[in-house]
Amino acid sequence: MSENRRARKIEEKKTVLNENDILPREKWLVEFINSRSRGTQQESFVRQFRAPGFYEAYDMVTTYAEKSNLDILWFKEKRRCGDYANGDFLNLESYCTYCNKKIDNLDPLPCAKGNCSAEFCSKDCALNHHFMRHLRPN
């Protein structure tokens, strides 16, 4: 391969963009229903997540529903959700603020401090965070 051709190939590889840079990630909402809940009242809850398009969002929602054994009521782009558009919801898959593990249960524990947005997988992590972040002098 000639030197000019090699340089041109290297330049072509540099100009190729990453797919994540091309497709903007939209915020989506999904409502699940827990069909395993006991009693006549079934629990439903809304989660938010980001995806670049409909098919990626569908894949994320169905995968999460299968793993969690939940039924999907609906999912839409957040900007097209009317009353839900102004709300702030928990993320579809949350991570513990203290230990950074994936939270498997449906409702993570929020921080006891009102203005803190941290979420935890257990009471121990919540207590450790509260001591380290809110009680310990700076």
Distance in angstroms (rounded) separating the CA atoms of residues 27 and 77: 6
Q: Which two tokens stand for residue 131?
A: 């001591």
Q: Which of these, 17, 43, 13, lies nearest to 31 by C-alpha position?
A: 43
Q: Which of these, 76, 38, 35, lies nearest to 58 by C-alpha position?
A: 76
Average of per-residue pLDDT across 10-39: 69
- Secondary structure (3-state) at 72: strand
Name which residue leads in pLDDT, 43 or 16: 43
User: Which pTM value belongs to this model?
Assistant: 0.58
Only one residue has tokens 């993570």, namely 108
pLDDT one-digit tens code per residue, 64-117:
888 878 888 988 887 777 776 667 777 787 778 888 887 766 677 888 887 787
| Confidence (pLDDT) at 41 | 66
- Secondary structure (3-state) at 105: coil
**pLDDT tier for residue 24 given thresholds of 50, 70 and 90:** low
Distance in angstroms (rounded) separating the CA atoms of residues 104 and 45: 15
